[in-house]
Structure formats: structure tokens, C-alpha cells
Homo-oligomer: A and B are copies of this chain.
Amino acid sequence: MSYPPDKLLYMRIVVLAGGIGGARFLRGLKQAAPDADITVIGNTGDDIHLFGLKVCPDLDTVMYTLGGGINEEQGWGRKDESFHVKEELAAYGVGPEWFGLGDRDFATHIVRTQMLGAGYPLSAVTEALCARWKPGVRLLPMSDDRVETHVAVDMDGERRAIHFQEYWVKLRASVEAQAIVPVGAEQAKPAPGVLEAIAEADVILFPPSNPVVSVGTILAVPGIREAIAEAGVPVVGLSPIVGDAPVRGMADKVLAAVGVESTAAAVATHYGSGLLDGWLVDTVDAGAVGEVEAAGIRCRAVPLMMTDVDATAEMARQALALAGEVRA
């Protein structure tokens, strides 16, 4: 049994989102449920300070994607972008050069940094930035407190903890991750509105975002996991792993660090039946349905490739339908 169309109109949906995968899923969700009230809880564990500026890659990817400013091909950064600031910084010998900040993107970080410096919390800054982009969702950082995902790696004969962006963007996850640590998460508080949105939600969705460094980091903020588990509403996720490999990105690298196999079923059981009520796997992973259901999570196999907005909207409809099913 799926939600009848009229229920979608007034539905309050909470989505835990990372960057590209979360942003693209949200675009499909908006098409599937155009009148739903969508609150996005965004990962800030991959935030980084560069050139004295506060950069929030995941929040910006959601904001730009839903606001029509994204570079569609690469999935992050601004379209019609130039890189003159970065070129000049490099000419001054100021790096890092491996992080691709474009000129238009710089403006976002300048405004954010100036507002943070003036005393506004990140949630208020994000709301102000969204006043321009009008993403059509309420975008909340998971926390106003600083959380920074570090990756422990063995390099040059010693174990080092490096910033997630250094691991992901600079090293392209080419070194084995020994551990993933969301530094500061234990002391962080959910941003204003986060727990309220979860408590008032009709449905909670985990898009096909990275289960460790995106959704996992959000869940590491004390209170968020508990609020979701206790919300008493359907919690449905979509597998970011299709055919034993990440749909995009390098999720397998960080899954290994937390001892989870790169399979659609393993990610579901990693979240666990205490959190997840339903799980969508791709049709190529239909064989995993039984294993997921045996773990107490309702599971369906449907196409999970976000090839375009229509295909993504259908994924969102399937997720909402599964939510209706587990509720019934």
C-alpha cells in the first residue's frame, strides 16, 4: 500500500543529506512531492577552513543544486564558474591547490565567514544564504557547533589523522582509511530546529548519501539518532551501493574503515532495524532483499540510478510508497 496522492501534498519530510547524492535525490523528491514540507538536515562534518574562509561543501551542494546554481556535470560548485581567485592565490604560493574553489563559490564563503564573524550561528547564516537561492526546502546544518571529520591513515610510516577533504579530494581515498572520526561530534548539539523537525516529521528519508561520512556524521551528533529512532514515523533509506560498488564516490573506502562490507544489505544492517524501517536496493541487488528483511527491515528492489530528475523522482516515490507500506 502506498500513500495516496493527497497525502503527499501535506507531508512533512525530513531528509538527512550529504553532498552530491543527497542534493540530487532532493531534486527528485521535490518533483515527486512538490507540495511536501521538506526539511533537510545537512552534514557539516566535511566543512573546512580555507584561506581564512569557512567552506561548507555539503550545505552548498544542496543549496546550489536545488537553487539552480550547480555545475551539473561535476555535481558540486557553481555553473559558469571561473577560477581567477584560486589562480592568484597559487601565484602567491598560497594553497591548498587541490581544493577547487571557484570565483562565484568564493562569494558564498565570504558572506558566510563575514556573518559568522559577526556572531551569527551557522544555521542563521545558512538561512540567509538560502534567502537568495530559494532551494524550496528548509536547509538546516546538523549542528551550529564545529564538527570536523578526520580520517586516520598510515602514511610515511606513521599513523596520521587528516581532514576528510584532504583524504577525499587530495588523496582521492587512495590510502586505506584506518578510522573515521567526527571530531567534535560528541560535544555538538543539534542545530535549532533539527530535533523539532524530526519530532514533527511524517516520514524520514536517508538518501543514497555516504552512510559513513555523510549520514553517519549527522547521526553522530548526540540526540539526532535517538530522535529519529523515537519519532514513531517511517524511516526509509536508499542504498548508495549498487552491485557491490558505490554509485558514485568512494563510499567503499570509508565503509571498510568501519568494518562494513560494500553491499546494499550490509549498509542496511549497519544502520540497523532500530533506526531503519525500510530500505530500497537496486534491482541488480534484488537478491539482497531477503537478507535485509531477515534483519527486520522492509526491503524492495527498484531502479536506483539517478540518471535524471524523472528517474530520481521515481526513486523518491518508491521511498515514500515503502514508507506508507511500513506504516501500514
User: Is A117 engaged at the interface, CB distance under 8 Å to the other chain?
Assistant: yes
User: Is A314 engaged at the interface, CB distance under 8 Å to the other chain?
Assistant: no
**Known contacts being A82-B82, A93-B132, A132-B93, is A88 close to B117, with CB within 8 Å?**
no
Q: How many copies does the complex hold?
A: 2
**Known contacts being A82-B82, A114-B52, is A107 close to B88, with CB within 8 Å?**
yes
**Known contacts being A106-B106, A132-B91, is A114 close to B51, with CB within 8 Å?**
yes
User: Is A283 engaged at the interface, CB distance under 8 Å to the other chain?
Assistant: no
Of B86, B88, B102, B107, the contact of A108 (CB 8 Å cutoff): B88
- In the complex, which of the residues A52, A84, A108, A113 has the most CB atoms of chain B within 10 Å of its own CB atom? A84
User: Is A295 engaged at the interface, CB distance under 8 Å to the other chain?
Assistant: no
User: Is A92 engaged at the interface, CB distance under 8 Å to the other chain?
Assistant: yes
Of B51, B87, B93, B110, the contact of A85 (CB 8 Å cutoff): B110
Chain B residue at smallest Cβ distance from A83: B103
**Known contacts being A104-B88, A132-B91, is A52 close to B82, with CB within 8 Å?**
no
User: Is A311 engaged at the interface, CB distance under 8 Å to the other chain?
Assistant: no
> Separation in Å of the A103 CB from the closest CB of chain B?
4
| Contact bitstring A126-142, B, C-beta under 8 A = 1, else 0 | 00110010000000000
A interface bracket (residues with beta carbon within 8 Å of B)? 20 to 34
User: Is A89 engaged at the interface, CB distance under 8 Å to the other chain?
Assistant: yes
User: Is A188 engaged at the interface, CB distance under 8 Å to the other chain?
Assistant: no
Residues of B within 8 A of A82 (CB): 82, 84, 103
Give 5 nearest A-B pairs by CB, closest first.
A88-B107, A84-B103, A52-B114, A103-B103, A85-B107
Sample of 8 A–B contacts (CB below 8 Å): A52-B113, A52-B114, A84-B104, A84-B107, A85-B106, A91-B132, A94-B114, A103-B103
Q: Please name 17 further chain A to chain B contacts, defined as beta carbons within 8 Å, in addition to the given A88-B103, A88-B107, sorted by A numbering.
A: A51-B110, A51-B114, A52-B117, A84-B107, A85-B85, A85-B103, A85-B104, A85-B106, A86-B107, A87-B107, A89-B107, A92-B107, A92-B132, A94-B107, A94-B114, A103-B106, A106-B106
Report A's interface with B, CB cutoff 8 A: 51-53, 81-82, 84-89, 91-94, 102-104, 106-108, 110-111, 113-114, 117, 128-129, 132
